[in-house]
Amino acid sequence: MDTLEKFYAKTKFNPANDCIEWIRNKNVRGYGTVRFKGKMYQAHRAAYELSKGNIPDEQYVCHSCDNTSCVNVNHLWLGTPADNILDRDIKSRGKWNQGEKNVHSKLKESEIDSIRKLYEDGENQYQLAKKFKVNQSTISHIVNRKIWR
C-alpha cells in the first residue's frame, strides 16, 4: 500500500457534502492530525501536499466546504492569511457573528428568551436541553448568561 492509500484509509466519504472526512486523531478545533514527513501535520495540509505538491511559505490550505475534518483536495485551496479571513467574513463565520447570525447556531433568539423564562418558571436544565435539542451545558451557559448575553 502506498502513502496515498495509507492516508485515505483513515478517511470516510460523506455523500451529504462530498467531503472526505478524516476519522482518526483530531485537534481541539476539529482538524485532522497525522504524522507526515516526520512531524505532526494537519491532515488537510498533508492531503494537499500528497496530491498537489509543496505548500509555499506563508500560504494556508483553506477549505471551500468549511469542514475542518475534510481532506478532499477538490475542497482545498491555497490562500494567504488575508484570503482566509476574507473567506471567513464573506461566509459570516467570524466571532463577531454572534447569536443567530452565527452559521453554527442551533438556536434562535426567541428560543433563548423561552429557555430563560421556562427555567425561571421551574423547568430543569435537562428537560430544557431535551426540548431544545442541545446539551445541558448549553442550557446552563444560557441561563447563567455566559452565552447569548
Each of the 149 residues of the chain gets a pLDDT tens digit; together they read 578 889 999 999 999 999 999 999 999 888 999 999 899 999 999 999 999 999 999 999 999 998 999 999 999 999 999 999 888 877 767 655 567 766 667 898 899 999 999 999 999 999 999 999 999 989 999 999 888 87
CATH number at residue 11: 3.90.75.20
My answer on whether 112 and 86 are in the same domain is: no
My answer on whether 53 and 11 are in the same domain is: yes
CA distance 7 to 148: 40
DSSP string spanning 90-116?
Answer: HTT-STT--GGGSTT--S-HHHHHHHH
My answer on whether 126 and 85 are in the same domain is: no
The answer as to whether 149 is a domain residue is no
My answer on whether 81 and 122 are in the same domain is: no
How many structural domains does the chain have?
A: 2
pTM: 0.63
My answer on whether 43 and 8 are in the same domain is: yes
Range of the domain at 106: 99-143
